[in-house]
Amino acid sequence: MDKIKIIKDYARNLKLGYIRDNILKIIDDADKKDLSYHDLIIELLKGEIDQRNRKAQERRLKQAGFPVIKTIEEFDTEFQKSITKKQINRLIEMDWIDNLYNLIFLGPPGVGKTHLAIALGYKAVEMGYKVSFTSMDRLMYYLKTQDISRKSKSKINRIYSSDLVIIDEIGYLPIFHEEANMFFQLISNLHEQTSIIITSNKGFEEWTELLQDVALTTAILDRLTYRCEIFNMTGKSYRLENRKSF
């Protein structure tokens, strides 16, 4: 039997996808570089680990559920001056996730709240953290249908197992009392277990009207802000200022 085929069969049985798919190139490169046996084995194992890490990152990114990909590099700190480059550089170190701190971005539409939330989530995925993104209205749907929908139950389970949960657009749609109770239960369960990023167009003083319950609002904010960095973002809408037309 051809030795290359034997190697590929062994690699397939051992689930060594990188070696299986690249063995000819690996051998050719080893010949060109005149690698020792030790160096060849190192190259084989490194390639396998690198490929597994790439695939794991791809899975984490897919499971995160970002609606679009936004990066920190794309965020215009010259336009949005409510947050500095120094603050952003501090955030992308991600030690706030390790220490179970929350981030809350407040401000009107278009000031970059969602961009920053997604960009930080994307960076966290790159660094190996498990991230879940959801808008507030989708979260309410998942919570209300988790007992009858496998997809919703899977999303809620994913949220509870995440290192970082991003809840976007709190305040854009009305929340009924039953939904507010479910939201409180979620926040209570995540409290001091998972880091949370919240974006909202409502100041905290407006959350009572939004959630329609003073005691519930106080309890939710008490948990969210206990270990938290709050960013009040102001200014014009980036989208309106940079509107494009065909």
Structure tokens, 11: 């690699």
Contacts of 51 (CB under 8 A, 6+ apart): 17, 18
- Mean pLDDT, range 226-233, rounded to an integer: 95
Contact 208, 214 (CB under 8 A): yes
Write the pLDDT tens digit of every residue in 177-220.
899 999 999 999 999 999 999 999 999 999 999 998 999 999 99
Instruction: Give the chain's mean pLDDT.
Output: 92
The tokens for 75 are 């965020």
Distance of CA 200 to the CA centre of its chain: 17
Under 8 Å between Cβ of 101 and 228: yes
Q: What pLDDT was estimated at residue 246?
A: 53
pLDDT at 243: 61
pLDDT in tens, 122-161: 999 999 999 999 999 999 999 999 999 999 999 999 999 9
pLDDT of residue 230 exceeding 90? yes
Q: How far apart are CA 148 and CA 56, in angstroms?
A: 30
Q: What is the pLDDT of residue 202?
A: 94
What pLDDT was estimated at residue 80? 82
Question: In this model, does residue 238 exceed pLDDT 70?
Answer: no
Residues of the chain with CATH 3.40.50.300: 72-242
Answer yes or no: is pLDDT of 235 > 80. no
The answer on pLDDT for 114 being more than 60 is yes
Cα–Cα dist 106/7, whole Å? 57
Percent of the chain having pLDDT more than 90? Answer: 80
Q: What is the mean pLDDT of residues 112-129?
A: 96
The predicted pLDDT at position 34 comes to 92
**Number of C-alpha atoms within 13 angstroms, CB side, residue 61?**
14
pLDDT digits (tens, 9 = 90+) for 14-51: 999 999 999 999 989 889 989 899 999 999 999 999 99
The residues, ordered by sequence, that sit 6+ positions from 112 with a Cβ below 8 Å of its Cβ are: 75, 76, 80, 83, 233, 238
CATH architecture of the region 72-242: 3-Layer(aba) Sandwich (3.40)
pLDDT surpasses 60 at 245: no
Residue 79: its pLDDT value, please? 80
- How confident is the model at residue 110, as a pLDDT? 87
